[in-house]
Structure 1
Amino acid sequence: MPSDLLLLLYGFITLLIQIAPWWLAGLLAGSLISVYLSDRIVSSVTVLRQGQFGLITLTGAALLGIASPLCLFGTIPLVAALGRKGVPQDILVAFMISSIMLNPNLLIFSFVLGVPLALARFTVSLAAGVLAGLLTRLFLSRQQLFRFDQFEPAQQKKKTLWRDFGKGLRITAPYLALGILLTALFDLYVPASLVGRLFGANKGLGILLAASLSIPTYVCGGGTVPLLSSWLEAGMSMGSAIAFMVAGPATKLTNLGAVKIVLGLRHFILYLSYCLFFAILAGFLADWIA
């Protein structure tokens, strides 16, 4: 047992040294955007309108969603404020979906998984928002999707770079530590061949399993990066990783209540169905391309 504890401690410290620079860089980038560019992002979304370049505006909205450093509990009140300013629903959907999938902090942190997978995560998160916005425009344009009555504008404290950075540290550090600990335990006790069989050998089953597994296990994006890194080294396919990274943030248990409030039950079911279907589809496409 003492030897196991030493190996566990060694694994934890090794993973922390490998991951910490990317985590800190992501937090710093997110804080810089939050403090100095948030107002510009909001104003950019506000001026987007439907027109002959509709797909371009949806792409712009999705890009701005990814650029927003807010978590879902910050994104939904922001979407409510934008809706009150007359921003069309399809643009709000594109912004919200991509913002839920990815933010600057997590994008930079994802480079721990390798450049190809980080870029794939960006592309898939962008496509998820654009496609959701397009489907909203084509099939739901005459329906009222959002219910903003419970989201009144809140007075926010003036942000400073280091205050925002410190807040990010306090929020994400426990989840990162938990993720690294679970990864160290996984590396110590779970055979790599098992991961290869579950998530690599049978890619179709692996994608479905990864999407399903993300629902109860995805608590914080940063906390899952060490686990994904270890699983990929053990034989997880890129498609399974993509399915996990898409379904996880979309179905994170701490977020679903807020999404249901703002969408209502019927549209909430559509949201869940779309996100899970897109996660599986993106996973199959990623494995097919790879």
Structure 2
Amino acid sequence: MFEWWQRIVDHFVYGTLGLSPDSPAGSALDFFLFDTVKILFLLTVIIFLVTFIRSYFPTEKVRDWLAGKHPLVGHVAAALFGIITPFCSCSAIPLFLGFLQARIPLGVTFSYLISAPMNNEIAIAMLFSLFGWKITAFYIGFGLLVAIVAGIIIGKMDLEDEILIKPPAVTPPEIEEVKIPISERIKEAWDYTVDILRKVSLYVIAGVGVGAWIHGYVPADLIVKYAGGDAWYAVPLATILGVPMYSNAAGVMPLIEVLTQKGMQMGTALSFMMAITALSLPEAMILKKILSLKLIAIFFGTVALGIMIIGYIFNALLG
């Protein structure tokens, strides 16, 4: 989808500026320019479309449909939807925000936010090509389990007051019947989109900047040195080391292959991958404008704990 932009960025960084793709500065700058524009573009498009569509379809109907189902249905649907959206942890935030603005239950939106970067089709295809169907199946199953269970836990904690950007008031049914011109719907959707962008854009730029620095300057050998063995602390250490880093599945998969070749256990390596893709410091910085620190800490802590448990299970099953 963004291949054209990647080519432009590559030409500018490696051609016009003359930086080497193998240099930390070149890799970091390329990463920063590509992801900043991509995320801001996704924010603009998704928030505008969600707001515009919401003007035609009362979002309380979605909530009513979910309310009429078993609570597990919404979490499973959101986690499965994450598989078909090829986003990294930061790129998934625009749709996550759209869900919040559409008043989808908080826990369900988190099931999507966890699943989208961790279980998307790019990760599945690359895992299958590198490690085969068995490991891919384990990864998908346990990845969905983490997203669903973590979403359920967060949803049961009544944390709606921890959302900083409140959704617009629900339009009363009697007003909903009024014919609103499409030009007015477009203007209202655009005004709302601009307002949200003003609130979060600086956090996006700062967050991606941190991620770009980590992407370019943190060496892989450092991770192998401290989390490459079979010690009991390897899984939690790999998870903790993975959280500050920032990459999508396509970017981290070659690193996972190298780590396993250098002796890291498969479960430890996949925990590291899950932590990088599902959680990241840049993601936390962007979410800071949307959610309270308390809710961000609960989100990161719950998912990280789930990833560690899955890592130990992976090592036991695949070791």
Q: TM-score range by the shorter chain?
A: 0.5 to 0.7
1:68 corresponds, among 85, 98, 108, to 85
Per-residue deviation at 1:64?
0.5
Per-residue deviation at 1:288?
2.2
- Paired position in structure 1 for 2:150: 132
Per-residue deviation at 1:136?
2.5
Question: 2: distance between equivalents of 1:106 and 1:247?
Answer: 13
What is the 5 A alignment of 1:102-121? 102-115=119-132, 116-121=134-139
2:259 corresponds, among 222, 228, 231, to 231
Residues 43-81 of structure 1 deviation map (CA, whole Å, 9 limit, x = unaligned): 9xx576134422132111111022222344443222222
What is the 5 A alignment of 1:48-63? 49-63=66-80
The answer on 1:201 being equivalent to 2:230 is yes
Change (3 A) 1:220 1:65: closer
- Paired position in structure 1 for 2:313: 285
Q: Which structure has the highest helix share of the two?
A: 1
The answer on 1:95 being equivalent to 2:112 is yes
Question: 2: distance between equivalents of 1:255 and 1:136?
Answer: 18
Percent sequence identity over aligned pairs: 22
One-letter code of the match for 1:139? Answer: M
- Paired position in structure 1 for 2:161: 144
In structure 1, runs of 5+ residues without a counterpart are 1-37, 155-174
Change (3 A) 1:87 1:220: closer
Highest CA radius of gyration, 1 or 2? 2
Change (3 A) 1:257 1:150: farther
Would you say the 8 A contact 2:88–2:248 is kept in 1?
A: no
One-letter code of the match for 1:79? Answer: F
Q: TM-score of the superposition, structure 1-length normalised?
A: 0.63
1:242 corresponds, among 261, 266, 270, to 270
Question: 1: distance between equivalents of 2:306 and 2:111?
Answer: 14
Per-residue deviation at 1:244?
0.4
Instruction: Provide runs of 4+ in structure 1 moved above 4 Å.
Output: 149-152, 194-198
Would you say the 8 A contact 1:250–1:272 is kept in 2?
A: no
- Paired position in structure 1 for 2:292: 264
Change (3 A) 1:244 1:197: closer
Per-residue deviation at 1:280?
1.0
Change (3 A) 1:149 1:86: closer
Question: 1: distance between equivalents of 2:87 and 2:256?
Answer: 23
One-letter code of the match for 2:117? Answer: I
What is the 5 A alignment of 1:164-203? 198-202=227-231
Change (3 A) 1:255 1:196: closer
One-letter code of the match for 1:249? Answer: T
Cα-Cα RMSD: 3.7
Residues 100-119 of structure 1 deviation map (CA, whole Å, 9 limit, x = unaligned): 32322222122243123322
Would you say the 8 A contact 2:82–2:120 is kept in 1?
A: yes
Would you say the 8 A contact 2:228–2:263 is kept in 1?
A: yes
- Paired position in structure 2 for 1:213: 241
Question: 2: distance between equivalents of 1:62 and 1:216?
Answer: 23
Question: 2: distance between equivalents of 1:74 and 1:62?
Answer: 16
Per-residue deviation at 1:132?
1.7
Question: 2: distance between equivalents of 1:280 and 1:268?
Answer: 18
